[in-house]
A and B are shown apart, each in its own frame.
Chain A
Amino acid sequence: MSRKRHRLVSETFGLKRRRERGDGEADPLRGESGSARAAVAELVRLFPRGLFEDALPPIALRSQVYSLVPDRTVADRQLKELQEEGEIRVIQLGFDLDAHGIIFTEDYRTKVLKACDGRPYAGAVQKFLASVLPACGDLSFQQDQMTQTFGFRDPEITQLVNAGVLTVRDAGSWWLAVPGAGKFIKYFVKGRQAVLGMVRKAKYQELLLSELLGRRVPATVRLGLSYHVHDLIGAQLVDCISTTSGTLLRLAET
């Protein structure tokens, strides 16, 4: 006799029932399924390629994935799986140690090869892309890993740093980086402050999402309003409150 009572204690006492189900269809931002890969694919479509003359691969941020996938732990685990399979690369963006950019490996490879075409460091970069990228899925690389396991000499490592593929983290360790990402980071930081400022200046420091998306875009926001709104929601810089008129964005108190 099967017993329906064998449910988790947490379900019985409404731990799951307490979680607010945000409105699915009415909200233009949250119409996403629970998968991290689908979320990254959708965010990559929001990236303005033409702004950087197609020299940068489309970058999505981890905080944006959190805004589309409601459970953060599940999102983190799925991103970790994608990283281990080699489908995406996670890049440390310099302005905030917590902000990680997510790029599809294929896009990263093609754009880096295009960027270093014809330059003196092309050989070192190609060797790096061929040997290190498939082998090591981490965000950072250590000195002895590069010299012993992959056989890079010091001048070659200097060439990689000059090419923009590696950024210095500490003495003897480097972060993986995207060449030419400086412009993106500058626009991103300015745009984030601008959109946050729009919410801050509103009365009671809260704005309806539909009103925010309908407003005139300030000149400092070059990456698109919805790109920044995803990031703000996921980074918990604004609280997302569902009301009868739609989603409300309120500035977080702390």
Chain B
Amino acid sequence: MLGFLSARQAGLDDPLHLRRAESTRRVLGLELNKDRDVERVHGSGVNTLDIEPVEGRYMLSGGSDGVIVLYDLQNSSRQPYYTCKAVCSIGRSHPDVHKYSVETVQWYPHDTGMFTSSSFDKTLKIWDTNTLQAADVFNFEETVYSHHMSPVATKHCLVAGLFGTRGPKVQLCDLKSGSCSHILQGHRQEILAVSWSPRYEYILATASADSRVKLWDVRRASGCLITLDQHNGKKSQAVESANTAHNGKVNGLCFTSDGLHLLTVGTDNRMRLWNSSNGENTLVNYGKVYNDSRKGLKFTVSCGCSSEFVFVPYGSTIAVYTVYSGEKITMLKGHYKSVDCCVFQSNFQELYSGSRDCNILAWVPALYEPVPDDDETTTKSQLNPAFEDAWSSSDEEG
């Protein structure tokens, strides 16, 4: 580390090099810290977490009882011991609260004035943060499994909502006009996860229980762009219907922060890394990533480190792997029941995870122990004269 600092000081290394090195070192030292806590508000399992992308200060959580809570993550007290307090919450007594479990919450990508939440009560609600009222509600005929809004979109305000049971489709709702714009058809069973690309504002990836992952361009009228194939078969085949991304349901989807690669997890206990531009399986093997979740699994990728890490809920622990080489770094143990979601705060390299045991745990980089002050050396010399011994080690005095 001193080598990196002195190189940066002398201008021999790029400034980004030091920043990435320090971020990587901090992520490698993530652990549970007795000084950091998140206030426990939820009475049932935490399904989803989201940290706002603007400042990284506020976090939303959605629970299985329909409650949505907003936390302030910033430590403004001078003490090392800090509990992230809930600033406000939409509890069971709120008139607009969701009737059933909240499956996904997401901040509006451009500021914290608004957030969206979707739930099993067949609605997608848009909330105003300052007044905590539902500004708009989209009602659907089927349960909403998940939704996502593009983090880079400037030309459109589309929210992609996922449905499954009766007709598996992705419905795109426009926030500006308040109505649904169009539907993406193509999957055969319920769609469990969706994500917009962080690189191109019109590219969307969906993962479904029929083992397929499809990449879509929402401007294109005729079906999906690519269906991902795990065996990397010849692309000359006209029929793509046999391509499967996993050998079981595909539960979770996450783009890397530069949008060039896509990670998918499935109930065949595998995680795969795909090249998002041509849909090729990069064949990075992470080993067995245990997954028996019947609904979507929300995992996350670090951002700003020299070798990116992926944090995947693995039963009741969180497994940390390097993305491009597939090596397992560590397993973060701390939850009592299965972990459902995790988010990474890239400014401070902290990980927050929510689980079915109603807790949100904060994983903080292990810091060095503080160096003791110099006053201690002066106190040592003030020994009580009664304890000083009169024995001398000199040979002359008999």
Contact = CB atoms under 8 A, between A and B. Distances in A.
Given A19-B327, A98-B270, A138-B233, A9 B287 contact: no
Contact of A254 (B239, B315, B329): B315
Q: Contact size class for A?
A: 35 or more
A135 B238 CA distance: 17
Interface string A139-157: 1101111000000000000
B242 interface: yes
Nearest to B211: A97
Given A15-B327, A80-B283, A10 B234 contact: no
Interface of A: 3, 5, 8-10, 12-15, 18-19, 66, 71-73, 75-77, 80, 97-98, 136, 138-140, 142-145, 169-170, 172-173, 235-236, 252, 254
Contacts of B12: 3
Nearest to A148: B238
Contact of A73 (B21, B233, B270, B284): B284
Interface in B232-258: 232-234, 236-239, 241-242, 247
Given A71-B326, A76-B283, A145-B237, 8 more contacts: A5-B7, A8-B306, A9-B17, A10-B306, A142-B242, A143-B239, A144-B238, A236-B288
Interface string B322-349: 1001110100000000000000000000
A155 to B, nearest CB: 22
A6 B268 CA distance: 40
A80 B237 CA distance: 19
Interface string B244-288: 000100000000000000000000101000000000000111111
Interface of B: 3-4, 7, 12, 17, 20-21, 24-25, 28, 231-234, 236-239, 241-242, 247, 268, 270, 283-288, 290, 306-307, 315, 322, 325-327, 329
Given A138-B233, A138-B234, A144-B237, A9 B306 contact: yes
A13 B268 contact: no
A142 B327 contact: no
B285 A73 contact: yes
The 4 closest A-B pairs by CB, nearest first: A72-B285, A97-B247, A9-B306, A236-B288
Q: Which of B12, B270, B288 has the most CB of A within 10 A?
A: B288
Nearest to A172: B239
A81 to B, nearest CB: 10
A15 B326 contact: no
Contacts of B241: 170
Contact of A173 (B234, B242, B270, B325): B242
Contact of A72 (B7, B287, B290): B287
Contacts of B4: 12
A13 B231 contact: no
B16 to A, nearest CB: 11
A235 to B, nearest CB: 8
B231 to A, nearest CB: 6
Nearest to B237: A142
